Structure 1
Amino acid sequence: GALDPAVELVDLRVDPPFRRGGPAKLWRLLGQVQPQVVHGFTNVGCYFAVPLARLRGVPATVATMGNAVDDPLLSRAEWRLASVPLHMAHAVTGNSREVVESARRILKLPASRLHHIPNYVDPERLPYQDAGLRAEVRAELGRLGLPSDAWLVGTVGRLTAQKDPETFLHAAAGAPSEVAGRPVHWLWVGEGDLREATAALATQLDIGSRVHLLGNRDDVPRLLQGLDLFVLSSSYEGMPNVVLEALGAGLPVVSTEVAGSDVLVLPGRTGWRVPTGDAAALAVAVAEALGQPEQLRRYGQQGHQLVRCEFARDVVVPRYFALYNQLLSARSRGAGDL
């Protein structure tokens, strides 16, 4: 979305990889701007911004981790390299308690410098149980061949091993093809390296007619209004932002037990959680969910309320500013790193 007028966006105009020319430009920018706080978000932000800011004498530096150290996104050797700027930062934030705990347990970061601040969404930018949009999306999907009365079970994510489309497809194959006389269709929004393999597996499992790979879309909030149930099949996450968006849109969720899902997908309140990689359990949960339309509606409402109360931008962002102020106050008192 648009930035607040008080926020100045600076484009360093660096083509990937960032290490070619990026650090030198960032070094010069830090000297020109002389910021009070530098906050590095994952990957490039942590690798380069935090060490350069410390060398420039920036009073407060923060690094944010988006995945747990024991998640397979990086090898142990890569995590050891990544831990260098994390140890240099005055404070490290993690988007789930599992991420924070992995930093303490594996990277040996002191607990006093670790802070849990969850991901967030702006509920005002998410359509919520909009009947007009739902009819519009359903009509569009109907033109793609989906039955107008179908249950639509969908997900949004890259077609990569992390998101585990294989488990998604096996769940689709194992779940009933009809519930309460209505056909069940499964949608995947997103692209990735496993696109061809995913399409081939859908054909192999003989579910190609009811699994639809929609590719990348720039209207995901709108598209969510056409779904009946959101499914996350990921094998690992830090905290799944897409689940926040689904809940904010008023959708009940079936999720694997990845990091951060425990505070979002609440059994008996907002959805169902199943073990990672367990396609059979995922299929059972989807069938159970679709068999209880009134519960679906109630879970969608309660999920939306959960996001507004605990994971909205206006609730979470002040926690970052409180951390910045805490760090600056400690530095001014000569209290050292927190």
Structure 2
Amino acid sequence: MKKMRLLALSTSYPLRTGSSAGVFVQSLYRRLSEGCAIDVVCPADSKPVKATFDDGAAPGIRIHAVRYAPRAWRRLAQESGGVVTGLRRSPWHALLLPGLLFGLFWRCLLCAGDADLIHANWSVCGAMAGIIGRLRRKPVITTLRGSDVARATRSWLDRMILGLAVRNSRIVICVSEAMAERLQAQFPHRRADIHACLNGADEAFFEIDRAVSGGTGLRVLAVGNLIRLKGFDVLIEAVARARHRERMHVCIVGDGPEREPLLAQAASRGVSSCFTFVGTVPATDMPKRTAEADVFVLSSRSEGRPNVVVEALAGGVPVISTDLEGVQGMVRNGDTGWLVAVDDADALAAALDQAVTDRVELQRRGERARAFARIQIGTWVDTARCYEALFQTALTAGGRQHSSCAE
């Protein structure tokens, strides 16, 4: 049978070594590309790049970088946090949105002729791909990744975009089972077409050989865009309130518009020495960062199914997390980590204090975290298998059949 040709549409995709935007999308496609031919349509960044080029690490992937503005202005989509964080960092970039969306739409429309199936990431791409799929008579699958679904609860525009994506996609994939169940209730007529495919972790995290540090200090790792949604202000406050704060050191990986206010908060609360802000680091460095941590903290106010938690668990690092829908089931209080209420700095401080003082329990929860990840999460290979099965379902429903990406 003929090899499947997949056209992928994404507002975030790493274009060079060290890029951080959309690395989980890249991880999926690199696994799928072992048997599929994949064309990725995504925004160009502010550095020189060819309009179309091959992914050197995955010969089966060809990248189409859309130039939507003068090069110096192309900072809306390809920096850490993607479009939404880019708009928070520089609100005037909203003027570039029409050009970005039209450029993605037009390039995807041109590339769709040779594709067997279109895969869209996030609801805005799903809405555009749905129109292209109708025009080109191609089946569309949309993956919703959490932030788009969360915004739809607060914004009529995002609700409309989400509705278009769901209605015009043959299959909708969610990155958590809780999200899939919520969408099935919201769109009962599409219930059978909404599925969950859980993101895996890179094999490198499972290979980490780690143990709790032998000293009395607690090495804390936190990763995310420095925006209010991620709740780093709560983490700083929690460390300030902790009884054993002098024994804690927090490494924060990520960048964003809240960097200076967070630094000022740490200084005003007298805990600057407890924090190191290292900025954005390449995805390839994260296994090493994880290996050097005793505990991982997610202080977010909202999440889909955070990949950073998946990676921490796979690395055998217990997680202290806010009690969010996308985290429940992965972080189990008293087993693989600690769950605390959103915005509850006192509860987060208490969890950190317990992690400092009870090293045996910290080690036990880390071992349970890795055991859970091996059985319940798996690697990107497992994620790719889930996608391959749904791709075949979409093609079969349209009266066409091709070899799976794994064949």
User: Is TM more than 0.5 here?
Assistant: yes
In 1, Cα distance between the equivalents of 2:397 and 2:187?
24
Indicate if the aligned counterparts of 2:204 and 2:287 stay in contact, CA closer than 8 A: no
In the TM superposition, what is the alpha-carbon distance from 1:293 to its structure 2 partner?
1.1
Cα distance, 1:200 vs structure 2: 0.6
Superposed CA offset, 1:117-145 (max 9, x none): 222112345541347xx99xx9xxxxxxx
Pick from 253, 261, 264: which aligns with 1:197?
Answer: 261
Aligned counterparts of 1:285 and 1:130: Cα–Cα separation in 2: 21
Aligned equivalent of 2:281: 217
Q: Secondary structure, in 3 states, of the residue corresponding to 1:260?
A: coil
Fraction of identical pairs, as percent: 26
CA distance in 2, matches of 1:21, 1:325: 29
Q: 1:156 aligns with which of 223, 235, 245?
A: 223
Q: Gaps spanning 5+ residues in structure 1: where?
A: 139-147, 334-338
Runs of 4+ off more than 6 Å: none
> Residue 78 and residue 108 in structure 1: after superposition, are their counterparts in 2 closer, same or farther (change >3 A)?
farther
User: For the structure 1 residues 76 and 325, does the alpha-carbon distance in structure 2 shift closer, same or farther, using more than 3 Å as the test?
Assistant: same
5 Å-filtered alignment, 1:1-338, equals: 4=33, 6=35, 7=37, 8-16=60-68, 17=97, 18-31=100-113, 33-35=114-116, 37-43=117-123, 45-58=125-138, 60-67=139-146, 71-72=150-151, 75-106=155-186, 110-124=190-204, 127-130=207-210, 150-177=217-244, 183-218=247-282, 219-312=285-378, 313-332=380-399
SS at match of 1:264: coil
In the aligned structure 2, how far is the partner of 1:317 from the partner of 1:311? 12
Q: Is the 8 A contact 2:335 2:368 kept in 1?
A: yes
Q: Which runs of 5+ in 2 are unaligned?
A: 1-26, 38-59, 69-96, 401-407
Bigger mean CA deviation after superposition, 18-27 or 70-79: 70-79
Deviations 1:129-162 (A, max 9, x none): 347xx99xx9xxxxxxxxx753111201110111
Q: TM-score, normalised by structure 2?
A: 0.71
Question: Please, what is the CA RMSD of the aligned residues?
Answer: 2.6
Cα shift at 1:69: 6.3
Deviation at 1:5, TM superposition (A): 5.1
Letter in 2 for 1:194: E
Q: TM-score scaled by structure 1?
A: 0.84
Q: Give the C-alpha shift of residue 264 in structure 1.
A: 1.0
Equivalent residue, structure 2, for 1:144: none
Q: Which one-letter code corresponds to 2:235 in the other structure?
A: F
Q: CA deviation at 1:216?
A: 1.4
Q: Distance in 2 between matches of 1:297 and 1:64?
A: 36
Hey, what's the Cα distance between the residues in 1 that align with 2:240 and 2:307?
Answer: 26
Task: Select between 78-87 and 166-175 the one with higher mean Cα deviation.
Answer: 78-87
